[in-house]
Amino acid sequence: MITQNNIDTMLSSGGNVIGSDGDKIGSIGQVYLDDQTGEPSWVTAKTGLFGTSESFIPLQGADLEGHDVRVPYSKHQVKDAPRVDSDGSLSPEEEERLYRHYELSGNGGRTETTTGTSNTSGLETAGVGGIGGTDRDNDLDLDARGGRHEADLTSDRDRGTVGHDTSGPTTDDAMTRSEEQLRVGTENREVGRARLRKYVVTENVTETVPVSREEVRIEREPITDANRGNAMDGPAISEEEHEVVLHAERPVVEKEAVPVERVRLDKETVTTNETVSSDVRKEKIETDDVDVNDTDRRTR
């Protein structure tokens, strides 16, 4: 359930309105509050190529998922909702048409909001009102219990009309010709992600290191005048042992972690040209043949 505590999150996060089928309906536009309870009652979803159209969706049964609002209606149902100008207020007639479309009950109160903020006036959500369903295909004049009247259907059709013709018996004698113009823009959407991941591998490193060791070598020298005193020092015949300590080097391995480089992710923008085509309508004006009655010629 969406409450007043969620309004700032909805309006400042740039979230989207998600339908019951999981499809994105559009980005969040404005939030309309109930005047008596102060709770959110309606949200608009910006649709169209540049988000210039806004569709009204009731917040009854809606939930907040992160920065997105999930509503219990499909994208198709929202797109078929009656067109209502998001000019900061809902008239009772507009509210009743919306309630009937979404098969909800409501009383015809009035809701107001200002430029993406939640400032409201005059809506009652708990009351009697529209009956479930609408009759879009038949211009029927239903009863006063909330049915759709022919005047309402005519108003809805007029809202969807492209162009504006001012000619007629109560206007001037000029005819306005209108045509559709194609406006092409771009939108930024997420297409993929790249990430850096660091992991540890083990590899065998072989190196050759020189080692030295001591070996025993016997040296013999003749008796000379220089060493005769040392040679004659001691008994003439005896048993004796001399000991020499031998040393040898052994390889010693030590490991040390040292930084070798820095790696980061960066982005660059690549611009390409894409051709976009669409059908546009335009009005043409032509004249029908005008019959001219010849007058009787008189001779003098």
CA 266 to chain centre: 21
The answer to whether residue 155 sits within a structural domain is yes
CA-to-CA distance for 138 and 75, rounded, in angstroms?
Answer: 23
DSSP 24: E
Residue 201, pLDDT score: 93
The answer to whether residue 97 sits within a structural domain is yes
Q: Which long-range contacts (CB under 8 A, 24 or more apart) does 208-212 make?
A: 209/251, 211/248, 211/249, 211/250, 211/251, 212/248, 212/249
The answer to whether residue 137 sits within a structural domain is yes
Tokens read off for 6: 């969620």
Say if CB 83 and CB 90 are below 8 A apart. no
Q: What is the mean pLDDT of each run of 10 residues along the chain (300 residues)?
A: 81 84 88 80 79 82 88 90 77 86 66 40 34 35 37 43 48 80 87 90 93 92 88 84 92 92 90 90 80 49
Q: Assign residue 61 a region: left if phi > 0, alpha if psi is -120 to 50, beta otherwise?
A: left
Question: pTM for this structure?
Answer: 0.37
Residue 26, beta-bridge partner list:
17
Rounded to the nearest 10°, the torsion over CA 222, 227, 231, 233 is 180
The answer to whether residue 285 sits within a structural domain is no
DSSP 120-145: --S---SS--PPS----SS-----TT
Say if CB 110 and CB 122 are below 8 A apart. yes
The answer to whether residue 68 sits within a structural domain is yes
Phi/psi for 130 (5° steps) reads -65, 150
The answer to whether residue 135 sits within a structural domain is yes
Residue 291, pLDDT score: 57
Tokens read off for 297: 């010629």
Pairing of strands 89-90, 111-112: antiparallel
The answer to whether residue 284 sits within a structural domain is no
Query: Where residue 78 sits, what CATH number does that domain have?
Result: 3.90.50.10
What is the domain extent for residue 124? 4-159
Domain count, the chain: 1
In terms of Cα–Cα distance, which of 64, 145, 150 is closest to 99?
A: 145
The answer to whether residue 294 sits within a structural domain is no
Residue 46, pLDDT score: 86
